[in-house]
Amino acid sequence: MSTTLLGILPGLLPMLAAGSPVGPSGMAPAGPTSFRFLAPGARLLAVHAGQAWSIGPDAGDDPVSCEVRGDDSSIALFVMGRVSVDHAGISVTDVPTARAFKQYFPGP
């Protein structure tokens, strides 16, 4: 299930950022912000460079604000807000930026 969720993240994250009839939209970062998600089942890059988020496959060449690594389940749980950066299955390169993730992508 977690691998499937990682596969749909490029479509899901923009919806989470936009909000829903029952939930608020996400905050826009104060400046350029990017996340790299590294898991066995996916390698994704989420970039906000002013207007909106761009999410897609990651070639791994660009510097990012925060890299989030873990197994498929841990990354899926992190993105959905079910675990935090303190989870044993997650490692991040920038704790404050990782903690802000759900401010940008609220939702479930």
| Residue 79 pLDDT | 92
Q: pLDDT tens for residues 35-89?
A: 999 999 999 999 998 888 999 999 888 899 999 999 999 999 999 999 999 999 9
Q: With cut-offs at 50, 70 and 90, classify the pLDDT of residue 8.
A: confident
CB 17 within 8 A of CB 9: no
In the chain, the domains with their CATH numbers are 2-104 (3.30.1050.10)
Q: What is the pTM of this model?
A: 0.91
